[in-house]
Amino acid sequence: MKLKAILVITALLLGGFYYVSQGEPQELFLPIIPKPQSIEHTAHKTVPINFDFELSGHDKTIELLNSLMTKTYGHSFKSTSAGAKLSFDLVDSLTGPEGYSLDVSENGIEIKAEDEAGLYYGMATFWQLFTHHFDSGKPLPFVKIEDKPRFKWRGLMLDEGRHFQGAAFVKDMIDWMSLHKFNILQWHLVDDQGWRIEIKKYPELTNVGAYRVPAGEGARAILDPATGEPKKIGGFYTQEQVKEIVAYAAAKHITIVPEIGLPGHAQSALAAYPEHGVNLSGKMDVSADWGIFEYTYNLEEKTFDYLEDILLEVMDLFPSEYIHLGGDEVQKNQWKEDPRTAQRMAELGIETVEGIQPYFTRHFDQFLSKYGRKMIGWDEILEGGDIHKTATVMSWRGEKGGIEAAHKGHTVIMSPWPTLYLDMHQSTSEREPTGRPALASLTPLENVYMYEPIPKELQGTEGAHFVLGAQGNIWTEHMRTNNQVMHMTFPRAAAISEAAWSSKERDFNNFMQRLPALFNWYNKLNIAYADVAFEVRPNITAPDDEQRIVSLSSQLDVGAIHYAINKESVSASDPIYTDPLTLNKNDTLITSRFKGDQILSAPTSLKLDKVSLSMRTDDTLEVCDAGYHLKLDDDYPESKDRASFNMNILHPCWIYKGADLKDVKTLELVVGQIPFNFQIGADWKHVKFDTPTSKDGELNIYEGVCEGKPLLSLSLTPALGNHGLTNFSADLPKTFDGATDLCFKFARPAITNFGIGHNLWGLDKVTLR
């Protein structure tokens, strides 16, 4: 009995457990994500599983299970009395809302819940267990799981204002979220770069506001054959599509909360109806820039009527308790400088410009309340006060806004930058897509997983009860493709789901052990997830011209690193890495991390000759200075893979640290250009370039430091008309005995404004020959 007690305690701590079979302890691991609140081993027996079950109980849940099985295995369960019993039953009293119990025993597999959401989550847990055990050829053990969510709000936000993903992808996202036991999708449908929802009373919102010409000369060179004009990108959802998606989400127990931002982030709406802006005249385009814009709604009565009309149609489409009204990053310059705004302020009793946004907030808070809805806004809605206690604050500028709101009696959703912002890079891998790679704000999987939704300042206080939960935000400025969205979202979404569902006490090491099973589920669901946390990263030293010493590691340490030398691939049957490898210069090393036979990351292939080791990309060069550090897509071609540039947009400058120039005669360089389409306020005046010596500009290469007389200066004329990448080759003007730093900077006329022709040059690759 003592041994059994110890093993059960181990189970509760580690998320798996041990059971006794024929007198010997054997490990039984249940890789469920998010981790259930309670797992107990009830007997030393198992249930064999296949596709034959005696199905009974809640028909809708059984239908959803079979749909999931068809999607992931190609066929559904066959209901037959020859199989084990699998039942789904609603009961009057159990674990509470959204909770469930799952019992594997002599009676078969029984899943019970108080509500349909709980049955669905029990079904999701069963699917995980079935997949893990069926794929490994193991029967299901007798277990009893009792589970319920810690928080009411378990959300992801999908930004479609920036890039339109389409109904099929949104439905896929809903499926994936529901299997992680998320229950809220905040749908960011409106922003400066696009209006994505049909409003029947105002058709120009989508006729005009849903489409834009992408920034950049390359993108503008792609012509629409129907018009001969630059091709526009974008799209929107009809009201029928919205209703269908809302119903689809409800069937998976996800509530869609629409976000219609005001009074800022309004450029796409004002491009369609400029009369609702501040002192606008003439045509304005939907923005193709990124950043924070000055355009805001004005204070005219007809503008408030217009916005109320929009919200009435939105409320007809979305039955959610909450409507998100944005309220973030509102710029006040246009209000300050507009005489008509001053006149309206006097009429409305608004004493200062800072009082305009609170006026908007209070007005639409009251408007939504009149229709039985509650407002959510980003934490800026606290400014000015006097909003209903029913209004909910989404804390994004760290946790400060959420703490303040909870102390004031407002419900709070914690969604702080950068930890829960999924546009932040999660590693330094070269395979990271476009996004925000700044080392100071990386959000690796462990940081996301260990986030605690109740801030320390609220723990143990009444304010803790006002925290509804947590939400991850998928901002898509730099996610042009759906594959990029998936990479940046998964598996970090799994970490968020566990932070919001499971108990406060979490064990990241245990979570890591469950990730291989999660990746198997992702493969079945066709999720293009990020495996970069397991990517093997080499560290190479060359003690002489012939040998290389290679050390291998990865961000997460699960399973073992296997390696192969001079082979086309690596497998789990290849040697396990234990100590640094001594190899020769002609070898090619290929390596990856495995858990058993399962490969956890795309293999890393490494040629060890001097030229291959000398090559640096923009990802492996050092970026000069702090500033706006981004990884950005090229603007060309339209549909094929594009180059990307890791750079500081305020100072496009790269350093090759310790370049071994001994015996090197030539530098080979690859450069490209991207549009300067960043709304960064007055900071655009401070973008640093070298002063050009010709009208086309140069690429300057410095020795040791990034100033003085360049070692080399290459004319950019050959690259000017090329929308893609351009190759350069240059002989070094002198010989070197060893290593030195090389600095690469572009010389070009200063940027004087935004728009076509104001491009940034980017360095893509450097090779020493």
Q: In this structure, what DSSP letter does residue 158 have?
A: E
Distance, in Å, from the CA atom of 480 to the CA atom of 482, rounded to the nearest integer, reads 7
Q: Give the residue from 18, 15, 10 showing the smallest Cα distance to 41.
A: 18
Q: Give the residue from 154, 223, 201 showing the smallest Cα distance to 182.
A: 154
Residues with Cβ within 8 Å of 293's Cβ and at least 6 positions away in sequence, in order, are 192, 264, 265, 267, 287, 331, 679
The stretches of 492-635 forming alpha helices (DSSP H) are 492-501, 508-524, 610-614
Residues with Cβ within 8 Å of 417's Cβ and at least 6 positions away in sequence, in order, are 396, 397, 398, 441
Structure tokens at 561: 């690193």
- Which residue is associated with the tokens 């908007």? 360
State the amino acid at position 568 in one-letter form.
E
Q: How many CA atoms lie within 13 A of 336 on its CB side?
A: 6
Backbone angles phi, psi at 420, to 5 degrees: -110, 20
Measured from the Cβ of residue 486, the count of other Cβ atoms closer than 10 Å reads 23
* Class of residue 242 by CB neighbours under 10 A (exposed 0-12, middle 13-18, buried 19+): buried
Instruction: Give CB contacts under 8 A, 24+ apart, made by 319-322.
Output: 319/246, 320/255, 320/256, 320/257, 320/258, 320/373, 321/255, 321/373, 321/374, 322/257, 322/373, 322/374, 322/375, 322/376, 322/392
Q: Are strands 322-324 and 374-378 parallel, antiparallel or unpaired?
A: parallel
State the amino acid at position 609 in one-letter form.
D
Measured from the Cβ of residue 368, the count of other Cβ atoms closer than 10 Å reads 22
Torsion of CA 198, 200, 202, 207, to 10 degrees: 50
The stretches of 252-300 forming alpha helices (DSSP H) are 267-272
CB 623 within 8 A of CB 762: no
The stretches of 392-470 forming alpha helices (DSSP H) are 400-407, 445-449
Distance, in Å, from the CA atom of 46 to the CA atom of 9, rounded to the nearest integer, reads 21
Backbone angles phi, psi at 738, to 5 degrees: -170, -140
Structure tokens at 496: 């968020």
Backbone angles phi, psi at 584, to 5 degrees: -105, 170
The helix/strand/coil state of 213 is: coil
State the amino acid at position 397 in one-letter form.
R
CB 146 within 8 A of CB 101: yes
Q: Give the residue from 121, 152, 257 showing the smallest Cα distance to 469.
A: 152
Q: Which of 146, 329, 430, 668 is catalytic?
A: 329
Instruction: Give CB contacts under 8 A, 24+ apart, made by 226-229.
Output: none
State the amino acid at position 645 in one-letter form.
F
Residues with Cβ within 8 Å of 452's Cβ and at least 6 positions away in sequence, in order, are 499, 504
329 is catalytic: yes
CB 572 within 8 A of CB 597: yes
DSSP H or E stretch at residue 590: strand 588-595
Handedness of CA 603, 609, 610, 611 (dihedral sign): negative
Q: Give the residue from 404, 377, 374 showing the smallest Cα distance to 388.
A: 374
Distance of alpha carbon 149 from its chain centroid, rounded? 23
Residues with Cβ within 8 Å of 172's Cβ and at least 6 positions away in sequence, in order, are 526
Query: Can the peptide bond before residue 444 be classed as cis, meaning omega within 30 degrees of 0?
Result: no
Cite the active site residues.
329
